[in-house]
Amino acid sequence: MSSSERNEIGLEASPSEQGQGAGARPARRQEGAPPVLEVSGLSSAYRSQAVLREVSFEAPQGELIAIVGPNGAGKSTLIKTILGLNPSLGGSVRAFGRPVAEVRGRIGYVPQRESVDWDFPTHALDVVMMGRYGRLGWFRRPGRKEKAIAMECLRGVGMEAFAERQISQLSGGQQQRIFLARALAQEADLYFMDEPFAGVDAATEKAIVELLRRLRSEGKTVIVVHHDLATVPDYFDSVLLLNVSLQAFGPTAETFTQENLQRTYGGRMAFAAAAASPSAAESGSAAAAPLRAAEPASASAKGAEA
């Protein structure tokens, strides 16, 4: 692998747009270029319950995009259905203008940390090397070259000192970084990340944000399921508000509005408040709950959502 190729995956590039809110920079939209991801009319169900209803959007290239919505809104289901990990009930997905199955080599995926057994007999470097398996093809074992790439990716998330560490002996934030490094090793152009910020400490969160910005500066597109409303304007260029059906999608500055958030979270929260305390609902304090959710800058929005 040449050094220019390595630069392409962004490991040696310096974070260029650090500290700049997405609202301050204009969204890069290239007219005419095929969208990186084209989702139309995507639906999914669990038993008889609709989990996704007719979701359509087009993701532009080179942006950090947040998927935001209340619990059970189908955020994880959306990216799993796009990736074909979940059966869809209808609709179509095209990435780089082609069906997803044909371009898997250009798509990276970071599952939720809880989705695997961290007691598995393996070490950090080995997990990162799994990011290379798709490119190796059948039967071939990873060799020196794959090891070097994986090590580079570990360095990219600041975990090179833990390469030989058994994965159960890593902290939650470190495990998350390992998963990100594994996705880096995939050398993809489009990334899906399922709650990478869940349960990590401030230092790891900062490292992840730097990594996301580095990927963006390389022209990669990253779609992130995100929970913390307070940080959305800071971290993301575009936001997709989801509650079973698509509520709003567009540049964060225009889309992340009180009105849209109220629509996404509102009904559910009023219902939750009424169910939890009927007397409060009668006295009218339940009406205050949706308003809290509609203040994305306040830290209480995160708690109210739960």
> Sign of dihedral through CA atoms 149, 153, 159, 162?
negative
Q: Is residue 121 near other proteins by the rule CB under 8 A?
A: yes
Cβ neighbourhood burial of 47 (10 Å; 0-12, 13-18, 19+): exposed
Nearest distance in Å: CB 205, other proteins: 22
> Sign of dihedral through CA atoms 77, 81, 87, 88?
positive
Short-list 108, 95, 103, 76, CA closest to 179: 108
Q: Is residue 139 near other proteins by the rule CB under 8 A?
A: yes
Burial 158-196 (b: 16+ CB within 10 A, else e): bbeebbeeebeebeebbbbbbbbbbbbbbbbbbbbbbbb
Residue 56, both tokens? 């359509």
Q: Which of 84, 99, 267, 278 binds other proteins (CB under 8 A)?
A: 84
End-to-end Cα spacing for the chain: 46
Nearest distance in Å: CB 279, other proteins: 35
Span interacting with other proteins, options 29-37, 121-129, 229-237, 283-291, rule CB under 8 A: 121-129
Q: Is residue 147 near other proteins by the rule CB under 8 A?
A: no
Nearest distance in Å: CB 177, other proteins: 16
Q: Is residue 98 near other proteins by the rule CB under 8 A?
A: no
Q: Which of 37, 44, 91, 109 binds other proteins (CB under 8 A)?
A: 109
Q: Site for other proteins (CB under 8 A): how many residues?
A: 33
Q: Which of 107, 211, 232, 246 binds other proteins (CB under 8 A)?
A: 107
| Site residues for other proteins per CB under 8 A | 80, 83-85, 101, 104-105, 107, 109, 111, 115-117, 120-123, 126-127, 130-131, 133-134, 136, 138-142, 166, 182, 186, 192
